[in-house]
Amino acid sequence: MTEKEKMLQGLGYDASDAELTADRKRARMLCHKFNNLEPDQREEATALLKELLQTEGDLYMEPSFRCDYGYNIKVGKNFYANFNCTILDVNTVTIGDNVMFAPNVQIYTATHPVEAAPRVAGVEMGYPITIGDNTWIGGGSIICPGVNIGRNVVIGAGSVVTKDIPDNAVAVGNPCRVIRIIEQDI
């Protein structure tokens, strides 16, 4: 198995692999170009994002945006991310339709072994994250590796989401927990 295949299967992998290093460099170059556009260059911004991410729908992101690879991020229709979004996409991040991120949202598929020896040796892992349709992630929230967030969810500002959140929930806190289920008309 290649290091990239291991990475995408959630196995320990070597991030210093030449293919992965080149892929990260490509993503950083595209992010740099996006982050340094003039505010009125929306068409160029959208084109760069469509080159970086997997999306066919409308999306709007404020700079600055950072990611590891870009190609592991699947974005649905009508996506909006406010300033300073970071997505560590060493595994897949699937974002549904009509999703909004407030400023400083951080999505982390990446993690490291708890045991010191493999961590010091450079072993990394990553676990997929899914965010359902019609979801709003509040400012400064962190979504941890392997989390699934349902449809029609609101994550309160400053939350650290360490476990799955069901559909139609309002969830807040560190660690994030459901405080109520809401009726939805969507």
Confidence at residue 184, expressed as pLDDT on a 0 to 100 scale: 72
Task: Report phi then psi at 56, rounded to 5.
Answer: -120, -10
32 is catalytic: no
Q: Is residue 31 scored above 80 in pLDDT?
A: yes
Q: Encoding tokens for residue 155? A: 């994550």
Q: What is the model's pLDDT at position 57?
A: 84
Residues counted in the chain = 186
Residue 185 has pLDDT above 80, yes or no: no
E strand map for the chain = 13-14, 54-55, 59-61, 65-67, 73-75, 79-81, 85-88, 93-95, 100-101, 106-108, 110-111, 123-126, 129-131, 136-137, 142-143, 148-149, 154-155, 160-161, 169-172, 177-181
The model's confidence at residue 56, banded by pLDDT at 50, 70 and 90, is: confident
Catalytic residue among 4, 24, 26, 112: 112
- Report whether pLDDT(186) > 80: no
Report residue 142 CA to chain centroid gap: 10
Judge contact between 169 and 148, C-beta under 8 A.
Answer: no
